[in-house]
């Protein structure tokens, strides 16, 4: 029996951190064995927020692809590619945009949020059309499943609608894609808020062991626990929350009873993280030393993706009499 097809991507808007690793990448690594998987660096999508910083998109395109591989994606098992290397995505985006009502795009909750977040006076056509490009990414590979976070579910529902509308006009070309909700505890950042590159509270996959120790040293803990024997409150402590994500938070009672100090806890967490990140760093360093290897992997991934994309586009063009 052939494996189902799976597709997922990440925007190259910054370095990848522990939240990206445990929230998505670790799951992708498992899924590459169960599915015919396509993982891509969504560089055209990054233009919606980094239009005037394209040199950074170029930098992060490579960094994110490096992090994919460092996290354990295996180019022998899955296709790893850059979206803009497969031009068919742009063509399908254009064709789907013709049959997508503007009203559907205006209603997307993340569109409204982004508009406010970015303080945009004028909204670009590309920002509003973001879900159409995402639909093109998914439908191109006729993906059976798309691993998504809760916040992406409305986008996926819209993708289904866009695909159905296209099918209604031109015939059954695209299957209904299913979302695969990734369940994970949100990774807290150094300050206790959600880990995010925009908050400056992240531990990156490319951080050295020393940088990790130093970052953990600055993490937010219970401000009332000054000495080791002060009774603490693990509830609001970022160190405790991060240990909890990793199933390592067994210090609850000792913290409350003042039997353990914050420095001790932080040392444990830093050691744990450095152990978790050691194989990832090793693969990362290896790739950084041989940049031509990354070029080869991305070229082979794009080739694999294009093979599928070409077949889909031939079908689409024929159905549309182009």
Compute the C-alpha angle 302/307/308, nearest 5°: 105
Residue 51 vs 226, nearer CB to ligand SF4? 226
- Footprint on residues 255-284 left by ligand SF4 (CB under 6 A): 255, 260, 262, 265
The count of residues interacting with ligand SF4 (CB under 6 A) is: 13
- CA-to-CA distance for 39 and 5, rounded, in angstroms? 11
Within 13 A of 297's CA, how many CA atoms are on the CB side? 24
Residue 80 vs 255, nearer CB to ligand SF4? 255
Catalytic residue among 59, 77, 142, 197: 197
Pull the structure tokens for residue 115. 């508009």
Whether 112 sits among the annotated catalytic residues: the reply is: no
239 lines the binding site for ligand SF4 (CB under 6 A): yes
- CA-to-CA distance for 12 and 22, rounded, in angstroms? 17
What's the closest the beta carbon of residue 237 comes to ligand SF4, in angstroms?
3
251 lines the binding site for ligand SF4 (CB under 6 A): yes
- CA-to-CA distance for 79 and 60, rounded, in angstroms? 19
Is residue 162 within 8 A of residue 127, CB to CB? The reply is no
Hunting for tokens 């909204």 — which residue is that?
A: 123
Please classify residue 34 by burial: count the beta carbons closer than 10 Å to its beta carbon, then call 0-12 exposed, 13-18 middle and 19+ buried. Answer: exposed
**Which stretch in 178-186, 189-197, 235-243, 281-289 sits in contact with ligand SF4 by CB under 6 A?**
235-243
**Which stretch in 14-22, 68-76, 123-131, 221-229 sits in contact with ligand SF4 by CB under 6 A?**
221-229
Task: Quote the DSSP letter at residue 260.
Answer: S
What's the closest the beta carbon of residue 219 comes to ligand SF4, in angstroms?
8
What's the closest the beta carbon of residue 204 comes to ligand SF4, in angstroms?
22
Contacts 24+ apart (CB under 8 A), 288-297: 288/66, 291/62, 294/62, 294/65, 294/66, 294/69, 297/65, 297/69, 297/75, 297/80
**Which stretch in 21-29, 101-109, 232-240, 309-317 sits in contact with ligand SF4 by CB under 6 A?**
232-240
Catalytic residue among 3, 112, 194, 228: 194
Whether 114 sits among the annotated catalytic residues: the reply is: yes
User: Measured between alpha carbons, how far is residue 96 from residues 111, 142, 208 in Å?
Assistant: 18, 14, 44
201, 232, 242, 294: residue in contact with ligand SF4 (rule CB under 6 A) = 232
Write out the DSSP string of 145-200: EEEE-GGGHHHHHHHHHHHHHHHHHH-S-SPPPEEEEPP-PPPB-TTSSBP-GGGT
237, 287, 297, 316: residue in contact with ligand SF4 (rule CB under 6 A) = 237
What's the closest the beta carbon of residue 213 comes to ligand SF4, in angstroms?
15
- CA-to-CA distance for 166 and 99, rounded, in angstroms? 7
240, 242, 245, 305: residue in contact with ligand SF4 (rule CB under 6 A) = 240
**Which stretch in 74-82, 84-92, 150-158, 254-262 sits in contact with ligand SF4 by CB under 6 A?**
254-262
What's the closest the beta carbon of residue 257 comes to ligand SF4, in angstroms?
10
Whether 194 sits among the annotated catalytic residues: the reply is: yes
**Which stretch in 10-18, 154-162, 237-245, 277-285 sits in contact with ligand SF4 by CB under 6 A?**
237-245
Which residues of this chain interact with ligand SF4, rule CB under 6 A? Answer: 221-222, 225, 232, 234, 237, 239-240, 251, 255, 260, 262, 265
Q: Tell me the catalytic residues.
A: 114, 194, 197
């Amino acid at each position: 029996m052939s494996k189902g097809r799976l597709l997922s991507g990440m925007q190259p808007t910054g370095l990848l951190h522990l939240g990206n690793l445990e929230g998505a990448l670790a799951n992708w690594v498992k899924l590459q064995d169960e599915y015919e998987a396509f993982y891509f660096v969504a560089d055209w999508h990054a233009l919606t927020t980094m239009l005037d910083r394209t040199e950074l998109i170029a930098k992060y395109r490579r960094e994110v692809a490096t992090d994919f591989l460092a996290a354990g994606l295996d180019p022998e098992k899955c296709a790893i590619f850059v979206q803009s290397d497969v031009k068919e995505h742009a063509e399908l985006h254009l064709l789907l945009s013709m049959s997508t009502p503007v009203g559907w795009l205006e209603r997307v909750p993340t569109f409204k949020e982004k508009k406010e977040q970015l303080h945009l006076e004028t909204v670009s056509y590309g920002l509003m059309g973001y879900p159409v490009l995402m639909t093109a990414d998914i439908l191109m590979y006729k993906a059976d499943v798309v691993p998504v976070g809760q916040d992406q579910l409305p986008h996926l529902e819209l993708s289904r609608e866009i695909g159905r509308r296209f099918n209604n006009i031109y015939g059954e070309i695209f299957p209904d894609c299913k979302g695969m909700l990734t369940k994970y505890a949100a990774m807290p950042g150094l300050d206790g808020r959600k880990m995010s590159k925009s908050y400056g509270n992240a531990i990156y996959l490319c951080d050295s062991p020393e940088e990790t120790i130093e970052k953990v040293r600055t993490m937010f803990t219970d401000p009332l626990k000054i000495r080791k024997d002060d009774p603490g409150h693990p509830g609001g402590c970022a160190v405790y929350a991060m240990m909890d994500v990793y199933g390592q938070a067994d210090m609850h009672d000792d913290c409350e009873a003042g039997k353990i100090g914050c420095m001790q806890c932080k040392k444990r967490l830093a050691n744990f993280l450095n152990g978790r990140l050691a194989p990832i760093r090793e693969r990362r360093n290896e790739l950084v030393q041989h940049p031509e290897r990354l070029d080869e992997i991305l070229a082979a991934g794009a080739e694999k993706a294009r093979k599928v994309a070409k077949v889909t586009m031939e079908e689409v063009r024929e159905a549309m009499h182009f």
